[in-house]
Structure 1
C-alpha cells in the first residue's frame, strides 16, 4: 500500500462529513435536538442553548463509510479483525454517547445516563474488545516508549484495556466544551497515530486513523466558532474509545498519555479541582475543565481553542519523535 491511500482516506472522509453535515443539521433542528447549557457554566455559553447536538453521528457515519470505501477499493488490504474491533469500539461508545445525548435532549434529564449506567456499558465493550483480541493471541506485553523494552503483565492487561477505554472516552468527553476544541485536538491526535501506525506496519489502522482525521476536520467546518452544531457525547465518547483502541492495537498504549496530552491535562484539572475543594474547601481553577478557567480569565473562546490546538500539536510531535526517532 502506498502513501496516497492515506490521503484518499482523509479526503473521502472529509468530503462525506462536509456533505452529510448540512443534511443532518436541519434535521436535528426539526427534531429539536438542541443543546441544553448548564447554568453553572460560563455565562457566555448561554447563547449557545438550542444549538443542535448529536452531530457526532456525522463523524461516525463518515468514518464507517470511508473505511469500507477506501480499504476495499483503493488499497490491496482487507478489512481485518483490527478494523472490525476499531469499528466495534467506535460505534459502541458512540451508541452509549447517543443514549446519553438522547436522555439529555429529548427526555430533558440534563445529566443523561447516570455514572453507573455509563461505566457498565463502557466496561462491557472493553471486556468484549479484550476477549476478541486474545482470540488472535494478542500480546499482553506493554512497551515503555523510547526505552526499547516491554513488560508482560498477563491478565492485568484486561485491567489496562478497561482503564484506557473508559479513561480515554471520558477524558475526550471532558475536552468537548468549546466550539471546535475537540474536533481540532482529536484530528491532531489521530493524525499522530496514523503516522505511527503506518511506520509500525499497521496499514489498516493507519487508514482508520486517517478516516477519523478527515471526518472531524469536515465536521469542524460546521463546528468552528460560532458552532452550527455540537458533537455531543455521541461523538466525544466514540472518539475517546477509538483512540484508546488504536493505542492498544498498535501496542503504543503508554504513548497515548503523551499524544493525548491535552485530554490528560483537561482530566487532571477536573480531578485536582474536586480533590482540593473537598479537602481544602477552595478552588484551584476558576472553573474546570481547564479550558473554562482560561475563558473566565478573559481569553476569547477562539484564543483558548487555538492555544489548545497548538499544545496538541506539540504533544503529537513529542509522541511521534519518541516512538520513531528517539531510538
Structure 2
C-alpha cells in the first residue's frame, strides 16, 4: 500500500476541517433531537442510563464517522485530493464500517466480550492483508511472518484503549482530538499530505461531536464511536510505514496521549 502525496492547497485543509465540523455538529444535534422528541429508549439504553446516572445517548460515533466519510468522499469526487488514493480510502471505509457495525450491535445487544474481541481480531487481519502492515521496526529489524501478529496487536490494542476511556464526559473524544491535532502537524512537517488531511477532517468531525460530549454530556461515543475511532487512529498511525518512514515515532503518539489520564 502506497500513498501519493501531491500538494493539497491550504484552503482545502481549512475547508475540509470546517465542513467536517459542521456536518458532525448537525448530525449529532439531529440524533439528539430524534432521541429526545421520539423518546426512543430500548432496554440496553435504559441500562446505560442507569449506569451513567443520567439520560445519555450511546450512538455518538455514528455522526462522527459519517461526517468523516462524507467529507473524505466528497473531496475525493470533487477532485480536491489525489484520485490515486482510491484504494486506500476504500480500505479505510471498509474497516471503519465493519468496526462501527460491531459497535452498534454491542451498544444495542451487549455483545459478549470474547465474541467482540474475536470480531476485532478478524477485522484487524482483514486490514493487514489489505495493506496496513508493520513490516519492520526501524531500518534494522525485519519482522517477516511476525508482522501480522504485531499489526493485529497494534490495531486491536489502540482500538480497545480508546474504548476503555469512553464513558467519562469528554475524555475519549478529548484524547482523540489531542492525538489528531498532534498527528496533523507532525504529518504536515514530514510532507505526508494525505495522512495529514485525514487527521484534519477527523479532528473536525470529532470536534463537532465534542461540543455535545462536554460535561454534562448529552451523548457519548459508545462502542459505536470508540471502537471505530480507535481503529481509525491505529490505521492513520500506520500510514507513514507505507511511505518508508520506518525510523520515526508516529506510532507512539496515540500511546503517549492515552497515558495522560493514567
TM-score (norm 1): 0.68
Please name the residue that 1:250 is paired with.
Answer: 240
Match status 1:94 vs 2:100: yes
User: Equivalent residues in 2 for 1:102-251 (5 A)?
Assistant: 102-103=108-109, 112-133=110-131, 140-143=135-138, 149-251=139-241
What is the CA-CA distance between 1:205 and the residue it aligns to? 2.3
Of 16, 22, 28, which aligns to 1:15? 22
What is the CA-CA distance between 1:142 and the residue it aligns to? 2.6
Deviates more, 1:204-213 or 1:222-231: 204-213
Please name the residue that 2:91 is paired with.
Answer: 85
SS in 2 for 1:32: coil
The structure, 1 or 2, with the larger RCO (C-alpha pairs under 8 Å, 6+ apart) is 2
Closer, same or farther: CA 139–32 of 1 in aligned 2, 3 Å = closer
- Distance in 2 (CA, whole Å) between partners of 1:161 and 1:118 is 18
User: Equivalent residues in 2 for 1:47-58 (5 A)?
Assistant: 48=54, 50-58=55-63
- Is contact 1:63-1:215 (8 Å) kept? yes
- Is contact 2:167-2:220 (8 Å) kept? no
Segments of 5+ residues of structure 2 without an aligned counterpart are: 1-7
Match status 1:75 vs 2:84: no
- Distance in 1 (CA, whole Å) between partners of 2:260 and 2:49 is 22
- Distance in 1 (CA, whole Å) between partners of 2:99 and 2:165 is 16
- Distance in 2 (CA, whole Å) between partners of 1:239 and 1:35 is 24
SS in 1 for 2:141: strand
How many residue pairs match? The answer is: 245
Of 32, 35, 38, which aligns to 2:41? 32
What is the CA-CA distance between 1:120 and the residue it aligns to? 1.3
Closer, same or farther: CA 66–150 of 1 in aligned 2, 3 Å = farther
Q: 1:115-171 CA distances to partner (integer Å, 9 max, x unpaired)? A: 22111111111111111217xxx771233xxxxx44221121111111011111110
- Distance in 2 (CA, whole Å) between partners of 1:86 and 1:59 is 15
SS in 2 for 1:5: helix
Closer, same or farther: CA 128–201 of 1 in aligned 2, 3 Å = farther
Q: 1:260-309 CA distances to partner (integer Å, 9 max, x unpaired)? A: 3242466xxxxxxxxxxxxxxxxxxxxxxx5xxxxxxxxxxxxxxxxxxx
TM-score (norm 2): 0.84
- Distance in 2 (CA, whole Å) between partners of 1:255 and 1:75 is 26
Please name the residue that 2:3 is paired with.
Answer: none
Compare CA radii of gyration and give the structure with the larger one. Answer: 1
- Distance in 1 (CA, whole Å) between partners of 2:49 and 2:172 is 19
Closer, same or farther: CA 164–254 of 1 in aligned 2, 3 Å = farther
Segments of 5+ residues of structure 1 without an aligned counterpart are: 104-111, 144-148, 267-289, 291-327
